[in-house]
Chain A
Amino acid sequence: GAGVSQSPRYKVAKRGQDVALRCDPISGHVSLFWYQQALGQGPEFLTYFQNEAQLDKSGLPSDRFFAERPEGSVSTLKIQRTQQEDSAVYLCASTPSRTGKTEAFFGQGTRLTVV
């Protein structure tokens, strides 16, 4: 595709509900990252995939957060039993290479509001 696509753009969830956020990276991009951006803050790293392998999940805040990229392209970030502190913008980024030598392309994010 032309850019990184994320859906939905907005999601309102009741506390305790499960949600799934989708990221469609640029075709052929090897690396995919998820970030969480709280209101008025900088994005914080959640997890990183190289193709289908999840190489780093050190930023996931709890075991309620789960990410997958089963075929090395589309990725889904799942949050179980959502809580109010999960309210944030979730950004996805992809890069064409395995190294940090190329630009990361970001999607427009999904704004999650837990009520």
Chain B
Amino acid sequence: NAGVTQTPKFRILKIGQSMTLQCAQDMNHNYMYWYRQDPGMGLKLIYYSVGAGITDKGEVPNGYNVSRSTTEYFPLRLELAAPSQTSVYFCASSPGNSNQPQHFGDGTRLSIL
């Protein structure tokens, strides 16, 4: 069972470049989330989705975009990469019921130089 799969695992971007972080889950979960984790800090929510076609902003959405055309995929787009976006990005999913935990991918380590 693959769970939540994130690609790529590592990436280096130049300032101003764009890229898409991929996230896929095979558990038929309704909810999906993108977090960023800066060194020594907890996770901050960027965007989340409660189902296909529905997305909403989290705590730190600026500089990012998302889409959710299917239940399985929830890509995160960086349009104009900035050094402040250097971080580790985690995708997660959950059924959406209050008694079910989140499942996390292994993360994407992104450096912007």
State whether these chains interact: no
